[in-house]
Chains A and B, each alone.
Chain A
Amino acid sequence: MAVDMRTNLGTLELPAPVLTASGCAGYGRELAPYVELAALGGVVTKSIMRNPRSGRATPRMAETPSGMLNSIGLQGSGVDEFVANDLPWLTEQGCRVIVSVAGGSVEEYAEVAKLLRGQPGLVALEVNISCPNVESRGEVFACDPDAAARVVAGVRAVTAPDVPVLAKLSPDVTDIVPVAQACVGAGADGLSMINTLLGMAIDVDTARPVLAGVTGGLSGPAIRPVAVRCIWQVRAALPEVPILGMGGVRHGVDALELVLAGANAVSVGTAVFGDPGACPRIQAELAEALAARGYARFTDAVSAAHPR
């Protein structure tokens, strides 16, 4: 019998549990030749900032064992162009659009969220708090519970009450649970985890960093155990909070692992670079993996690895 793949992130109901991951699917358009975007749980956009942004110099990437480093620097066209061109296109395709919001200050996050308010097609915001705080010597918001909470509160205050706000957490912290708790305390309706881990590669021939940005975000299957651990810890501490899990999902069973750890839905990121058809493939593989293990409903597998 077919597995019931419906799920929800708090009040947000999704017909299917696999979504794109921020920064790995552009604004959706590029994947349209390969993927029926509306058949996915949703499309999580590349992070949107207030103004156009050039990003960093090249080289911007390095392949690493079972993963990659990237140092894009949030290249993007800014919220005005996104609202004028990209969001309407995604909405026309019938996508459920989760917009990733980024900023260099609490005010910028809130301004972007305000400009997105009331836009048709937008079903949730994901707050990318792994940005350097320009007002605090570049310290990343996600690494400080108070700073993370201020960003979440700022976005929550200007966002329509029926649009969930998810805070995207960084694994690069001593203890992820207090950051998760601070975000939920500040009004986050759910949590996305995990963002990339900070890494670095050196070219041993030139004796120089490979990336122009020196350090970069590590993603891909190499980080999946970190994602499983973070989701597990936060699920154990916050049994009811909706979790959108991501980190190294490449096959259906990888997604299932995150779900068993506590994810209510799963985003697929780096796998899309190697396989533009990864999201629907993984969604189908996940359904098969659930059926093979006797699950009638996707939601029955959520958090199933935790002791009851």
Chain B
Amino acid sequence: MSVPPRQVPAEVLQLGSAGAYLSLRLRAPELAAFQPGQFAAVAVGGRHTGMVLRRCFSLYAGDPGDGTVEVVFAVHGKGTAWLAELRPGDQVDVVGPLGRPFPLPARPGAAVLVGGGYGSAPLFSLADVLHAAGGEAHLVVGAASADKLFFGEEAWQRCASVTVTTDDGSAGVRGLVTDPLPELIARTGATVLYACGPMAMLAACTAVAREQGITAYTAVEEAMACGVGVCMTCVLPVVGDDGVTRMTRSCTAGPVFAGETVRWADVGTVPTGTWGAGGH
């Protein structure tokens, strides 16, 4: 059952470091019962800031028992630098849970979960849900180097297997996060692949799933200004059930899409034949 999105003042409980990333734990009972794949939109900079847009992060962990949620972020610019300065007791304005979660398989079985960088953040709660439903989650996390990996200790407990890859071989197997996938899918009999990370990785995961004859669900990381569906900036070309491509909002229709429906090679363009692209 999905929780309706709310705008709430959330108290900062803890700001921790996790490799190259930071994790922010907030008291926000309204968001705690989120579904894996959903995200939160956080206001940055305080009341009189010059930063007018929200920053959106996938929800990493939640505990409806104590009303807390946690997001993981990297310092990329002024907004995330401000978040990195928060202290316990501070308040941030948070909207969530937003977006459509990862769809769960009709029957419990094996699933492969693929995370690039801190794109792995939403996969741990997904592993929990799959595990609780009697399925098994095989986690593959990859990054450029060891410090850019994100996975907690607890990942080992929730997942039937964990595979680590790095581009430079500084942790796990040297290579891309997609390299182990064909063998893993064949060995586990997985029928579904879940992925979150950069666009190129999601495109590659979709291609592997297609070759292996299984379903891919991908959570995209498009730049969003509002997160709630009004700014129309986070669109990408997605093919609908009717076969028509539309410029589709990743905040409200996503962030999770069936990988096969996203025109990965055309992201950043309006492909010919897109609904409404005829002009006048």
A67-B276 in contact (CB<8A):
no
CB-CB under 8 A from B235, the residues of chain A are 55, 58, 60, 75
**Interface pick from B83-91, B106-114, B205-213, B223-231:** B223-231
**Interface pick from A8-16, A186-194, A199-207, A265-273:** A265-273
B252-A30 in contact (CB<8A):
yes
Select which of B4, B51, B270 is within 8 A of A33 by beta carbon.
Answer: B4
CB-CB under 8 A from B195, the residues of chain A are none
Known: A54-B247, A54-B274, A275-B93. A75 touches B232 (CB 8 A): yes
Chain B residues numbered 157-177 whose CB sits less than 8 Å from any CB in chain A:
none
Q: Which residue of B lies closest to A135 (CB)?
A: B280
Select which of A60, A221, A250 is within 8 A of B232 by beta carbon.
Answer: A60
Known: A54-B276, A58-B222, A276-B7. A63 touches B51 (CB 8 A): yes
Q: Report the Cα distance A152→B105, complex, angstroms.
A: 55
Query: Interface majority SS on B: helix, strand, loop or mixed?
Result: loop
B229-A26 in contact (CB<8A):
yes
* B43 contacts A by Cβ under 8 Å: yes
B275-A66 in contact (CB<8A):
no
Other A-B pairs beyond A54-B270, A57-B269, 16, CB < 8 Å: A33-B6, A51-B280, A52-B275, A54-B275, A59-B223, A61-B225, A63-B52, A66-B52, A75-B235, A104-B280, A273-B231, A274-B51, A274-B53, A274-B54, A274-B226, A276-B228
B233-A70 in contact (CB<8A):
yes
CB-CB under 8 A from A179, the residues of chain B are none
Please report the total number of B residues contacting A with Cβ < 8 Å. 38
Q: Which residue of B lies closest to A67 (CB)?
A: B52
A58-B276 in contact (CB<8A):
no
* A56 contacts B by Cβ under 8 Å: yes
What are 12 A-B pairs with beta-carbon distances under 8 A? A33-B5, A34-B5, A34-B228, A58-B222, A60-B235, A68-B53, A72-B233, A75-B276, A77-B276, A104-B280, A220-B52, A273-B53
The 8 A CB mask of A10-41 against B (1 = contact, 0 = none) is 00000000000001111000110110000000
B43-A275 in contact (CB<8A):
yes
A221-B52 in contact (CB<8A):
yes
Select which of B93, B236, B280 is within 8 A of A134 by beta carbon.
Answer: B280
Known: A54-B276, A105-B280. A68 touches B52 (CB 8 A): yes
CB-CB under 8 A from A229, the residues of chain B are none
Q: How far is the CB of B226 from chain A (nearest CB, A)?
A: 4
Chain A residues numbered 37-94 whose CB sits less than 8 Å from any CB in chain B:
51-61, 63, 65-68, 70, 72, 75-78
* A277 contacts B by Cβ under 8 Å: yes
Which among B226, B235, B269 has the highest number of chain A CB atoms within 10 Å? B226
Q: How far is the CB of B53 from chain A (nearest CB, A)?
A: 5
Q: How far is the CB of B30 from chain A (nearest CB, A)?
A: 11
A273-B270 in contact (CB<8A):
no
B232-A53 in contact (CB<8A):
no
* A108 contacts B by Cβ under 8 Å: yes
A271-B52 in contact (CB<8A):
yes
B54-A273 in contact (CB<8A):
yes
* A291 contacts B by Cβ under 8 Å: no
Q: Which residue of A lies closest to B247 (CB)?
A: A54
* A163 contacts B by Cβ under 8 Å: no
CB-CB under 8 A from B225, the residues of chain A are 61, 63, 68, 70, 273
CB-CB under 8 A from B226, the residues of chain A are 272-274, 276
Known: A33-B4, A61-B233, A75-B247. A51 touches B52 (CB 8 A): no
Q: How far is the CB of A205 from chain B (nearest CB, A)?
A: 13
Select which of B95, B236, B270, B275 is within 8 A of A276 by beta carbon.
Answer: B95
